[in-house]
A and B are shown apart, each in its own frame.
Chain A
């Protein structure tokens, strides 16, 4: 009796969240799928999906003229930039998270705040700030010239796009790893040391495997938004690197909703499959290691 009422109360308190989740997560996803598999008269079709894999265009890079699969090329380009950004975030973020987790509490708080401050700024403003820094006559080159060093050309290159992505998504890599590391039992590290492991071994055999859950969520949180970003590449890449996010935006702006939805849908499926594979790999590694 008592149990029943409490479960009813529980369900009632959960209602707003359920409504929220259905309205803003499930319904939009259903719409994306619906649009992806229909044509402009809302008749079922797989044309949009096939178009993604088969559409071709001609590329003339001045030397050779080739015919390529438009969207597959765009997707691979997005994937490459996103993976590079994610790897850089991980390489920088992992040691930082480790140092933070071992630092005195006060230092931890200061570092956390420093990492989060950029997140309080608007995404567009951050990207514009990087434009002014990286421009050929921007702050960076002004600084280099002042030091009598050769100015560098960054804006409009892949590097600029990667810098932008790394800057924007770096906190999403550090924070999940940090939270796992901070919870790591110091006695486990002592135990490893006690059992004959020098420092690097402790890192490889205890800290790393135990921090994998944090690394996985960090990688997910950086890879997913950076693979689908469009604004950074437009502003920092001078529009030279057309990414999958740009493609979706372009189709959307051109009022080609069904194809935009199809690209979004395919991207989503690919990402989900990747995540599932990663999770599986990590699980197996955990058991075997």
Chain B
């Protein structure tokens, strides 16, 4: 595969605060790559550097073999779908999409042909004369995509494009975006904080935290072989335990020795062990490798999520069978359900569900804040209100 963008040792700080800390990343032709991380991890800044809206303090931005660090956005063969769309409120749907073509003085009939083609692609044919402020969020989203694609850029940058949509619409748009990417063959660089979205759409996922890249890989790799406790915790749910690697394919944790499939560690090397909640089998207490007491049960539709106390460490386990609080159950963990990771700076910070309820509250608060932010921006949209920079 051909490299289309190379970021080399990019560093960027705002007001003395380091936002990107020596980031290097290769982006290949035709791929759907997602920058994933919690807010403040530097993913949007990375995107803005590719788009030309920020200049890195140091490092190089190579686009198809050329250093474009000092090339202004309007000269880059890259287009962006902005967070909350940033459609031009004074122009109708047709003119929004035609915006870049008019700048290039493309002949009128060709503009008409291309815009129509794009509006067909995003299923908005017949909306040409509509004012963009009269459209729903999902429709505005489509206009933004059509507007960015009409120029046939080599790379399309998408900055949390689905964040303002409701769940159902978001799912539909995920599929649609993926289809558009396949149909056009354009490289998509997608920024999101939603791990599910990242896993379901991407060819490559780049997990970021605190201005650094934690892991680059396919969604399956990222989920099954997280490199450290941060990635394991951020992508899906994980029980992360302190363990010791006894020898190849043998690890001890939770007071027991388990067979596993991991190799290449030093003898008696301290490690982090990841066990996914869905990979644990529940058996009667006397037949389990581990034994614990159920401390809470949450019904989630498809399955129950139960918290099990095993010698003071709280495990999360997903099961389709009902187990009541205070029941003692046994756990069986198959070798391929165990993933061993090197110790990292994130060791011990994640993966214990003893404070699970607190954590849930925190997540809830973040979402409420985000919603408020979205509403605020959405409310300003029609009067093109100035929001944060």
Binding site for B on A (CB under 8 A): 182-188, 190-198, 201, 205-206, 209-210, 286-287, 289
Contacts of A205 in B (CB 8 A): 99, 103
Given the complex of chains A and B, what is the CA–CA distance between A197 and B80 in angstroms? 14
| A194 partner residues in chain B, CB cutoff 8 A | 51-53, 73-74, 78-80, 82, 148
Q: Does B100 contact A (CB under 8 A)?
A: yes
Instruction: Please give, as numbers and ranges, the residues of chain A lying within 8 Å of B381 by CB-CB distance.
Output: 185
Contact indicator B74/A198 (Cβ below 8 Å): yes
Q: Contact: A185 with B103, CB < 8 Å?
A: no
What is the size category of the interface that chain B forms with chain A? 35 or more
- Residues on A with C-beta less than 8 A from B380 are 183, 185
Q: Contact between A190 and B53 (Cβ–Cβ < 8 Å)?
A: yes
- Please tell me if the beta carbons of A185 and B385 are within 8 angstroms of each other in the complex: yes
Beta-carbon contacts under 8 Å, B94-118 to A: 95, 99-100, 103-104
Q: List 30 A-B contacts (CB under 8 A).
A: A182-B386, A183-B380, A184-B386, A186-B386, A187-B84, A187-B387, A188-B384, A190-B80, A190-B82, A191-B80, A191-B82, A191-B87, A193-B52, A194-B53, A194-B80, A194-B82, A194-B148, A195-B79, A195-B100, A195-B103, A196-B100, A196-B103, A196-B151, A197-B103, A198-B72, A198-B74, A201-B74, A210-B89, A287-B92, A289-B90
* Nearest A residue (CB) for B102: A205
B15 within 8 A of A: no
Q: Which residues of B come within 8 Å of A, CB atoms? A: 51-53, 72-74, 78-80, 82-84, 86-92, 95, 99-100, 103-104, 147-148, 151, 380-381, 383-387, 389
A140 to B331, CA, bound (A): 94
Q: Give the distance in Å from the alpha carbon of A199 to the alpha carbon of B383 in the complex.
A: 22
Bound complex: CA A98 to CA B201 (Å): 42
Cα distance, A188 to B86, chains bound together (Å): 5
- Closest A residue to B384 using CB positions: A185
Question: Lowest 7 CB-CB distances: which A-B pairs, in order?
Answer: A195-B100, A187-B86, A191-B86, A193-B73, A196-B103, A185-B384, A209-B90
Across the interface, A190 reaches (CB within 8 A) one of B86, B103, B104, B148, namely: B86
Neighbour of A185 across the interface among B74, B78, B86, B147, CB < 8 A: B86
Contacts of B92 on A, CB cut-off 8 Å? 287
Query: In the complex the two chains form, is B79's CB within 8 Å of A185's CB?
Result: no
List the B side residues contacting A201 at CB < 8 Å.
74, 103
A52 to chain B, nearest CB (A): 40
Contacts of B91 in A (CB 8 A): 289
8 Å CB contact of A195 from B89, B99, B384: B99
CB-CB nearest in chain A for B100: A195
Chain B's interface: helix, strand, loop or mixed, by majority?
loop
Contact A188–B72 (Cβ < 8 Å): no
Q: How close is B310's CB to chain A, nearest CB, in angstroms?
A: 50
Q: Are B73 and A190 in contact (CB under 8 A)?
A: yes
Contact residues in B for A210 (Cβ distance below 8 Å): 89-90, 384
Whether B74 pairs with A197 at a CB distance below 8 angstroms is yes
A185–B386 CA distance with the chains assembled, in angstroms: 4
Measured in the bound complex, the distance between the Cα atoms of B81 and A190 in whole Å is 11
Q: If the complex has contacts A190-B86, A289-B90, are A196 and B387 also in contact, measured as CB distance less than 8 A?
A: no
Least CB distance from B147 to A in Å reads 7
The smallest beta-carbon distance between A257 and chain B, in angstroms, is 45
Least CB separation from B381: chain A residue? A185
CA distance A54 to B387 in the complex (A): 57
Whole-angstrom distance between the alpha carbons of A210 and B384 in the complex?
9
Cα-based distance from A156 to B380 in the complex (angstroms): 50
A187 and B203 alpha carbons, distance in the complex (Å): 28
Q: Which residues of B contact A186 (CB under 8 A)?
A: 386-387, 389
Q: Which residue of B lies closest to A287 (CB)?
A: B92
B86 and A195 contacting across the interface, CB-CB below 8 Å: no
Q: Smallest CB-CB separation from B73: which chain A residue?
A: A193
Q: Which residue of A lies closest to B83 (CB)?
A: A187
Q: Do B384 and A184 have beta carbons less than 8 Å apart?
A: yes
Q: A190-B86, A210-B384, A289-B91 are in contact. Are A196 and B80 (CB under 8 A)?
A: no
Contact B74 A206 (CB under 8 A): no
With both beta carbons as reference points, the residue of chain B lying nearest to A195 in the complex is identified as B100
With a CB–CB cut-off of 8 A, which chain A residues contact B147? 195
Residue of B nearest to A191 (CB): B86
